[in-house]
Amino acid sequence: MSMRRKVALAASAAFIATLATATAQDPTSLKDAYKGAFVVGAAINNAQITGQDSRGDAIISEQFDSISPENVLKWERVHPEPGTYAFDLPDKYVAFGEKHHMFIVGHCLVWHSQVPGWVFRDDKGNFVDRDTLLKRMHDHIQTVVGRYKGRIQSWDVVNEALNEDGTLRQSPWLKIIGEDYIEKAFQYAHEADPQAQLTYNDYSLENETKRKGALALITKLKAEGIPVTSVGLQGHLGLQWPSVETEDVTISDFAKLGVKVVVSELDIDVLPPATQQQTADVSLKVEQNAKLNPYAGGLPQSVQQELAKRYADLFGVFLKHRDVVTRVTLWGVTDADSWRNDWPVKGRTSYPLLFDRNGQPKPAFHEVVRIGKSTEAR
């Protein structure tokens, strides 16, 4: 072997060794990049819970240190009929989190959607009275939260109780029980697991009018001694809305009330808005229109870069408030998993997350990791 060849090989080996050392020293996962600031989570689906999606499971275990259940702990899934609970998948979900030493979230206990009709009606089809519904709520929360006491660390207790104008949503919970249904839900959850973190969770709280309603609600609950630990900003956001300044103000406003903030369901829509309303209401349906699905064949690089900058800017805000923000959870693992693919327009191809449909990290992923690793941000 010539001397030049030996020198080249030695130089190459040295470079590889240096690169390996740097890689070992520098955090390259989301959870490592934000270690000491807040946990980074993902919402996981049935296939990931049961091990059918091995690619997704690998991403979850490598990148995240928290999980939320996309559906398995919603009332219609876990408690479909009176006296009947389906704990097989929830048990697997909790076991998955424990296996990977994760912060485990329960989602959600009281919501107006995905609730079986029997919950609100008697055997003749009439609405039940206040006491009956309170007992059903109490028994459900005691059974579900109690089963995972000390294992699920945080619960989304009440989900989406507010209208866009900040008033209370006219849900069956409100109509039958009254405004104190929210207080009761938190009380029951606290009784079932006094150590669990308890969250009020909602979307579009960046909208000032709705945020004022949420601030008033949390203020009222705190004044009455209700154990509200945190407010969940769902974070179903867009490329333009809300502004970075608005996100900053929103977190600050809730921090002033003495509660923590979690970004509970983060994704960023890159598609044209299907409605003028800033909402994540799952009941919304919009007719198909080719103009609303412009990237069916793939996302242009220019939009990829725009998405990357948007994620970086938002994570910069979250890091700024790391004394208040305790968790940031992406609502899904890859673009293929996202609920936005079919909402509010059936069949749309969406790109709202950090990993693409093939499970590969997008430019947005690298930007988010870069922000987390930044010594300036610390």
**pLDDT tens, residue by residue, 80-108:** 999 999 999 999 999 999 999 999 999 99
- Characterize the bridge pairing of strands 260-269 and 325-330: parallel
pLDDT of amino acid 287: 66
> CA-to-CA distance for 261 and 195, rounded, in angstroms?
18
Q: What mean pLDDT value characterizes the chain? A: 90
Task: Take residue 373 and report the two structure tokens written for it.
Answer: 């690793």
Active site residue 208: no
**pLDDT of 189 higher than 90:** yes
The residue from 70, 206, 265, 306 that is catalytic is 265
Bridge partner residues of 67 (DSSP) = 42, 104
Torsion sign over Cα 77, 80, 82, 88: negative
Average pLDDT of span 312-317? 98
Average pLDDT of span 37-57? 98
Active site residue 160: yes
Grade residue 346 by pLDDT with cuts at 50, 70 and 90. Answer: confident
> Which of 3-12, 60-69, 290-299 shows the lowest per-residue confidence on average (mean pLDDT)?
3-12
> CA-to-CA distance for 166 and 358, rounded, in angstroms?
40
Strand, coil or helix: 333: coil
Cα distances (angstroms) measured from residue 330 to each of 194, 238, 263, 362: 27, 14, 8, 14
**pLDDT of 23 higher than 60:** no
- Tell me: the pLDDT tens digits for 198-213? 999 999 999 999 999 9
- Could you give the domains of the chain? 38-373 (3.20.20.80)
Regarding predicted confidence, which is higher, 140 or 339?
Answer: 140
pTM: 0.89
- CA angle at residue 338 from 332 to 343, to 5 degrees? 140
- Tell me: the pLDDT tens digits for 227-238? 999 999 999 999
The residue from 160, 183, 306, 367 that is catalytic is 160
Given its phi and psi angles, is residue 308 left (phi above 0), alpha (psi -120 to 50 degrees) or beta?
A: alpha
pLDDT of amino acid 67: 98
Average pLDDT of span 13-17? 34
Cα distances (angstroms) measured from residue 104 to each of 38, 100, 230, 247: 14, 10, 15, 25
**Amino acid at residue number 226:** I
